[in-house]
Structure 1
Amino acid sequence: ELNKELVFFHLSVESELDNAKGKKYGLGSSGAVTVATIKALLKFYKVAYTPELVYKLASLAHLSVKSNGSFGDIAASCFTGWIAYSCFDREWVKKKQTEMTITELITMPWPDLMIRQLRVPDNLQLLIGWTASPASTTHLVDKVNDKRQDMADFFPNFLAKSKTIVNDLIIAFDQNKTQAIKDGIRKNRALLLKLAKHTGISIETPLLEKLVEAAETFGGAAKSSGAGGGDCGIALVDNADTILPLFKQWEADGVVPLPLEVYQEDEGAGVL
């Protein structure tokens, strides 16, 4: 579409998103690799890009393989830092794909898409614990979708409450209110537990429950990450002195603390 001649290239991928035994950490590696590949090819073909352009191209790539995730991992890889996110209207995008070129589609606003940076309180830290139990987002989302018909009364209410909690969280970040942020995480976790109870699907595994309980013991707020069912949990703490004791408790419970921090790309980095 851009009238650029296709040429041969060699692409290699090096990942540190698994442990020494090859077990994945559940950190959104498929989204990260998609974003990295698209950025590499755009640079290779000397095409200027923005985080939004990369996000839309990566989302179209994942739609093409019938991915049913939220694409939040893609947004995080594209925009970096702490972000507030809501997914676009998939059916609208799929319909437009049949009516226009990719070039036209990616320059249009996508209904319901929202990605914005969050201001993070200086004392707030994100901790990640790994359960060493792999989970499939696609599988878990499919299981929930299969039961939506049986939850005609519960599910709309669940979505409405989830939206309210997320909106309140965004406001808490905007107002630099650490306690309100932690309370939002707790409310989100409680709502997910209700979903698990209604569907009979394990979202918070016993090890994730221990991860949350330990975080609460040391003044933090925690929940399962992604679709749940294994992989990682996240904890927000605002007292640095509690981190090492919390990590020790996690290790005693069988949770692996991951030495990770939130990455924030410099403004304009990578843009040609």
Structure 2
Amino acid sequence: MTPRRPVARRAPGKLFVAGEYAVVDPGNPAILVAVDRHVTVTVSGRGLHSDGADVVISSDLVPGQGRWRWHDGRLHDGGGSGRPAPRGPDHVVAAIEIVARLLAERGLPPPSVEVSVSSRLHDNGTKFGLGSSGAVVVATVAAVAAFHNLELSPDARFRLAVLATAGLDSRGSGGDLAAATWGGWIAYRAPDRAAVLDLARHRGVEEALRAPWPGFEVCRLPPLPRGLALEVGWTGNPASTASLVSGLDRRSWRDGASHQRFVETTTDCVHASVTALRQGDRPGLLRQIRRARRELARLDDELGLGIFTPGLTALCDAVEAVGGAAKPSGAGGGDCGIALLDTEASSDISRVRERWTAAGVRPLPVRPAMEGNEE
């Protein structure tokens, strides 16, 4: 039943366009776009090996190979080789485990495979902040499932990816998983991750793929209005989304009027941006991106999260100086910022790139990727 040939699947990275921070709560909307840099995962058969490992994971992000063995439906490192597994494959392991749970529910044995990960979402091991963790989970789920002849819809692949990651990061929105699955420009609302984990725990993965998920919604959006270009700048400083988002959990803020105002304003900004994209309203979209920047700045001032670094501030200021709109993409604190600029004003785009470079911000040659995880 298992194909002999290796199976490779890839998934794109992402950029948040609007809705950051608010989207971590179920049902709050965000806009994301997939980018044309990918993580590729290749799965091949493991067969019989003397090292005792059931699963071997290698990646261009970490040296060496990780060897893993199945025990009670979970992968445990070591694999009998006497060598510890390399750090950093948690998301790959979680993705393999969730597919194994689905296989078990269908009466099939756990995967015995070799998994190889190749990423273009990093630079010499340093992440750009383009959603590499999400992309690797989606690509791993797709590749392992395809290797075992599991036919999965995009919705099923996304749901498996959420079930794999929700236990690793309870505050992750899953927006990166959605962008990696569907590609293009999307509007997204996060599911209640605690509820879906509980559903899978008590009723099984198969049922969790079929049942309604509270809060979850995803729909495709048109690309940018004619005359606008998406430019991306990388600050050179990797950021920890989990640690930044954890700052939202201060009870004094979440229980107050400021939190409600932030969610309401951000939600309205996302809805207005969706309308602008659907209507091809270039000035309207620029207004909303500037508004989103201001709202993130207000949140940063109130909670001291560190969203706006000097590099991100310089990135935004350079764009607004020529009439464009810019903001951090994602949690901020480093990583990337996005800019929308007039395609006909090539001198303005060149000027922005020069100012970015002078401020230590590296222009990234990325473009929207209309395809998501490929079958």
Normalised-by-shorter TM-score class? over 0.9
Please give the secondary structure, in 1, of the residue aligned with 2:218: strand
Give 1:64-75 correspondences, 5 Å limit: 64-75=167-178
Q: TM-score, normalised by structure 2?
A: 0.68
Q: Which has the higher helix share?
A: 1
RMSD: 1.7
Question: 1:97: which partner in 2?
Answer: 200
1:22-79 deviation per Cα after TM superposition (whole angstroms, max 9, x unaligned): 3211111100111110110111011112221111111111112134121111111001
Could you tell me whether the CA contact under 8 Å between 2:253 and 2:259 is conserved in 1? no
Q: Distance in 2 between matches of 1:176 and 1:217?
A: 23
Residues 7/113 of structure 1: CA separation in 2 closer, same or farther (3 Å cut): closer
The match for 2:262 among 138, 153, 158 is 158
Superposition deviation, residue 202 in structure 1: 1.3
Question: 1:178: which partner in 2?
Answer: 282
Q: Unpaired runs of 5+ in structure 2? A: 1-104
1:79-101 deviation per Cα after TM superposition (whole angstroms, max 9, x unaligned): 10111111112232233233311
Give 1:33-112 correspondences, 5 Å limit: 33-112=136-215
The match for 2:360 among 250, 254, 264 is 254
Q: Distance in 2 between matches of 1:98 and 1:194?
A: 39
Which is higher, the Rg of structure 1 or of structure 2? 2
Superposition deviation, residue 195 in structure 1: 0.7
Residues 135/43 of structure 1: CA separation in 2 closer, same or farther (3 Å cut): same
Residues 200/261 of structure 1: CA separation in 2 closer, same or farther (3 Å cut): same
The match for 1:199 among 303, 315, 336 is 303
Q: Distance in 2 between matches of 1:219 and 1:46?
A: 51
Please give the secondary structure, in 1, of the residue aligned with 2:226: coil
Q: TM-score, normalised by structure 1?
A: 0.93
Q: Distance in 2 between matches of 1:181 and 1:208?
A: 20
Question: 2:349: which partner in 1?
Answer: 243
Residues 77/269 of structure 1: CA separation in 2 closer, same or farther (3 Å cut): closer
The match for 1:217 among 321, 324, 327 is 321
Could you tell me whether the CA contact under 8 Å between 1:75 and 1:85 is conserved in 2? yes
Superposition deviation, residue 9 in structure 1: 1.4
Q: Unpaired runs of 5+ in structure 1? A: none
Aligned length: 267
Q: Distance in 2 between matches of 1:125 and 1:228?
A: 21
Superposition deviation, residue 218 in structure 1: 2.4
Q: Distance in 1 between matches of 2:227 and 2:355?
A: 21
